[in-house]
Structures are given as C-alpha cells and as structure tokens.
C-alpha cells in the first residue's frame, strides 16, 4: 500500500469514529430529554421515577441520573473541547504544512522545468550556429525564422534570471547587435528581466517589452531601444567595489548615444544615468527620475516629461523642442544653450536653474517657478510668462520681445540691457527692487513705422525714472 493510500484510509477511519461518537452522543441526549419529559416510561435505574434512594443496607443508591450529574457536564465539556479544537487544529496544521511543502515542491519542479527549457534552447541555438550558419544567414533564410520562433516561445516560460541569461547568450553570440540583428527581439517578453551588469552596447532591443526590467550597472552604450516598453525599468546603478577612500559607490548605467525614440519610460529610474547624445524623440517619460543625469546634446524633441525629476541634471545643448515638461523639476539644472522652443513648461519648478543663452522662444512658462534663475541672454521671444515667479532672476541681455508677463513676479530681478517694453513691465505683478544698473533698460517699441512694407520698427532707447537699486539688494 502506498503512503497516499495509507493516509487516505487513516483519515477515513478517523472520520467514521467521530461520526459514531456524535451519533451516540445525540442518541443519549435525546433519550435523557424524553425521559425527563415523560418520566412514566423511563426505567427505574435512570432516576427519573420516584423510588427509594436508600437500599436495605442504608447505602445510597447511585442511579444513572446521579452519575449524569457527576459526569455528564465534564464529559460534555471535554468532548466539545476535543471536537472543536483537536480535529480542526490538526487538520489546519496538516494543511498548512502540506501546502507549504507543496508550494516548495512546485517551485522546485518549475525551476527544473525552466532549466531544462533553457538548456534545450541553448543546445538548439548552438546547433543552428555551428551546423546551419545562423550568424551568416540572410534575412529571409528559414534558419532565422526558426531561431526567432524558438526565442520568442521560450521567453514566456522563463523567470527574471533566466531571461537575463538568454539575452546575454544572444549578445555574446553576436545575434542581437544593430543595425541588422540576426534575431529581432521586437515584441519579445523581457518584462522583469534581470540585466544588471550586462554589457549590451550596440544591442538592438527595439520594440521589446522591458517593463520592470533591471538595468542596474548595465552597459547600454549606443544600444537601440527605440519604441521599447521600459515602464518601471530600474537603472539606478549598482554597488561596486569600495573606492580608495573605503566607501562603496554607485555606478549608473551607460546609455550614451542610445536610440530610445518612442520608448515607454514612464516612471523609469534613471538617476545619474549617462544619456549623452541619446535620441529620445517622442519618448514617454512622465514621472521619470532623471536626477543628476547627463543628457548633454541629447535629442528630446516632442518628449513627454510631465512631472519628471531633472534636478541637478546636465542638459547643456539638449533639444527639448515641442516637449511637454509641465510640472517637471529642474532645480539647479544646467541648460546652457539648450533648445526649448514651443516647449510646455507650465508649472515648472526650476530654482537657481542655469539657462544661459537658452532658446525659450514661444515656450509656455505660465506659473513656472524660476526664482534666482540665470537667464542671461535667453531668447524669450513670444514666450508665455504669465504668473511666473522670476524673483531675483538674472535676465540681463535676455530678449523678451512679444513675451507675455501679465502677473509675473519680477521683484529683485536683474534687468541689465534686457529687451523689453514698458507695457510688459506695467503688466507684471511687481518689479519692486528690480536691479537696473546705471538706470539703463533696453526696450523696443512695439509700434510700426509708416512704411508700406509694414515691417515692425525696433528702436533701442533709455528708459528714465526707473528706480536704481543697489546690486546688493535681494528680494524680500
């Protein structure tokens, strides 16, 4: 008899015994109730009928009722306690133990099955490489179709670690390098793949599903991740060996010149990531963490960075044309010579940001918070600065031709040689304490000359009677 059959028979007998005990207890209880209600039918020995309680030897006669009084209640209590607690407790403990053991068994079996699958996959791919010339095959060769089908199928059955192993195998076998990968991973299920520490430089991961993937310390130099789904992907850098000073350091991933056009990076952890000259056109990066990242010279045209964190990021010469940065943070960020034409910067928080000579023409900066910002020589033509906080900002040599300043706060702003009209200043919320060295403020006339060509006449002139404050004054 097997263990399972023995256990089944044992549980069956336990169930039968409990049933017999319950039936006897119920029968006895019913008999007692009937005898108590109809004492005439009760036997004399039960004590429910009138009888002498003392025999001829003057010894007390113990009837069934006497014994019931002494034993019934304790017995009932003991039986009830055993019935309520013991079977259920034992059963619960057995079930918990059984389920725990079963879960571990399933996990072990599943791990064994996954290991067999990936080993079979490796063997198959090795054969295709060595015997069928997979690496040298043409785009329409059958061997490529077979290799891709094998890859796409097995990925659905693998966990995070084995997905990472598979990708490393493909990369080391030179099967996924761009521009013309032997095996395309477009649409591949690489969600939650553990790619930490993996060298994927120049790898083609275009259109792959990489949500929640782990790229900590990964090398992604010139990798192609265009239109990939990278929602929740982690790229925080991993702890490396201790520095000479004896403290561990984080090494961020490298994405220099990576192609991320149209990729989904919503909520991605990209702090300190090197994205120098990366292409991120039309990428979805809402709420992404880009603190202290390097995006120098990167192409972010039409990117969505709503509520993203770009504090202290290096954004020199970065192209944000037509980008949506509403509600984003750029505190102490470096944006010298950056391009932000027509960008949506509504509600931007950029305290002490450096935007020297940046192009902000036709951008929307309404309600932006830019106190103490360095906007020297900025192009702010036709920009919307309604309600913007520019207290203490340096706008020297900035061009605000046609900019909207209604309700803007210019208290303590530095306005040396700024191109602006008196009407714009009048529309501002306040210019109290604005610093205008030597009482000079360059402004342009918004009128037109009488010429038939209708060209706008621009004329620099000195605006008199504007308060000259000491350069040492600060906004209140």
Q: What is the DSSP letter of 45?
A: G
Q: Cα(326)–Cα(332) distance, rounded to whole angstroms?
A: 17
**How far is CA 81 from each of CA 26, 77, 88, 336, rounded to the nearest angstrom?**
16, 6, 11, 80
Looking at residue 183, its pLDDT comes to: 96
**How many C-beta neighbours within 10 Å does residue 438 have?**
8
- Nearest 5°: the CA angle 352, 395, 448 is 150
User: CA angle, 40 as apex, 39 and 42 as ends, to 5°?
Assistant: 65
Instruction: Evaluate whether 327 touches 306 at the Cβ level (below 8 Å).
Output: yes
C-alpha–C-alpha distance, residues 415 and 376, integer Å = 9
The structure tokens listed for 205 are 């991961």
Do residues 196 and 218 make contact, with C-beta atoms less than 8 angstroms apart? yes
Run means of pLDDT, 10 residues per run, the chain, 476 residues? 56 71 68 63 62 48 56 58 54 60 77 91 95 93 95 94 96 92 95 91 92 84 86 60 50 77 86 90 93 95 97 97 98 98 98 98 97 97 97 96 96 93 91 75 44 36 37 36
CA–CA distance, 381 with 399 (Å, rounded to integer): 6
pLDDT for the residue numbered 402: 96
Closest CA to 320 of 350, 284, 360: 360
The pLDDT, as a whole number, for residue 460 is 34
Q: Which of 260, 261, 258 is nearest to 274 (CA)?
A: 258
Alpha-carbon span 191 to 229, nearest angstrom: 9
List all residues 6 or more positions away from 24 whose beta carbon is below 8 Å from its beta carbon: none
Task: Give the contacts of 371 (CB within 8 A, at least 6 positions apart).
Answer: 351, 352, 389, 390, 391, 392, 393, 475
- How many angstroms separate the CA atoms of 476 and 468, rounded? 16
């Amino acid at each position: 008899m097997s263990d399972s059959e023995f256990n089944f028979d044992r549980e069956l007998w336990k169930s039968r015994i409990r049933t017999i005990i319950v039936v006897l207890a119920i029968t006895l209880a019913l008999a007692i109730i009937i005898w108590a209600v109809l004492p005439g039918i009760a036997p004399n020995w039960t004590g429910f009928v009138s009888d002498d309680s003392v025999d001829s030897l003057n010894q007390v006669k113990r009837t069934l009722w006497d014994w019931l009084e002494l034993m019934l209640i304790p017995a009932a209590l003991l039986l009830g306690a055993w019935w309520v607690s013991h079977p259920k407790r034992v059963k619960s403990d057995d079930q918990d133990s059984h389920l725990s053991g079963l879960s571990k068994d399933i996990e072990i079996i599943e791990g064994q099955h996954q290991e067999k699958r990936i080993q079979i996959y490796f063997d198959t791919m090795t054969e295709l490489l060595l015997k069928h010339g997979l690496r040298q095959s043409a785009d329409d060769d059958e061997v490529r179709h077979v290799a891709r089908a094998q890859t796409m199928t097995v990925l659905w059955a693998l966990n995070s670690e084995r997905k990472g192993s598979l990708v490393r195998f493909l990369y080391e076998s030179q099967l996924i390098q761009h521009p013309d990968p032997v095996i395309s991973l477009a649409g591949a299920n690489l969600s939650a793949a553990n790619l930490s520490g993996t060298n994927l430089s120049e790898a083609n991961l275009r259109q792959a599903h990489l949500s929640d993937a782990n790229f900590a310390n990964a090398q992604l130099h010139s990798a192609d991740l265009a239109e990939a789904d990278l929602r929740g992907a982690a790229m925080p850098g991993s702890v490396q060996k201790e520095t000479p000073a004896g403290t561990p350091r984080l090494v961020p991933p490298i994405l220099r010149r990576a192609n991320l056009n149209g990729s989904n990076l919503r909520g991605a952890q990209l702090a300190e990531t090197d994205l120098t000259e990366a292409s991120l056109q039309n990428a979805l990066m809402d709420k992404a963490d880009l603190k202290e990242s390097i995006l120098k010279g990167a192409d972010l045209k039409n990117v969505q960075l709503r509520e993203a964190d770009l504090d202290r990021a290096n954004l020199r010469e970065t192209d944000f044309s037509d980008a949506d940065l509403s509600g984003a943070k750029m505190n102490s960020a470096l944006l010298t010579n950056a391009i932000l034409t027509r960008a949506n910067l509504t509600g931007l928080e950029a305290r002490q940001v450096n935007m020297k000579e940046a192009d902000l023409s036709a951008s929307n900066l309404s309600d932006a918070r830019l106190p103490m910002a360095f906007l020297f020589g900025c192009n702010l033509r036709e920009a919307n600065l309604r309600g913007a906080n520019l207290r203490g900002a340096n706008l020297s040599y900035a061009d605000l031709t046609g900019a909207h300043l209604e309700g803007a706060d210019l208290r303590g702003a530095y306005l040396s040689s700024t191109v602006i009209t008196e009407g714009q200043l009048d529309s501002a919320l306040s210019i109290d304490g604005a610093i205008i060295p030597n009482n000079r403020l360059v402004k342009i006339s918004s009128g037109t000359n009488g010429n038939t060509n209708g060209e706008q006449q621009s004329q620099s002139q000195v605006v008199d009677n504007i308060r000259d404050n000491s350069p040492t004054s600060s906004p209140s």
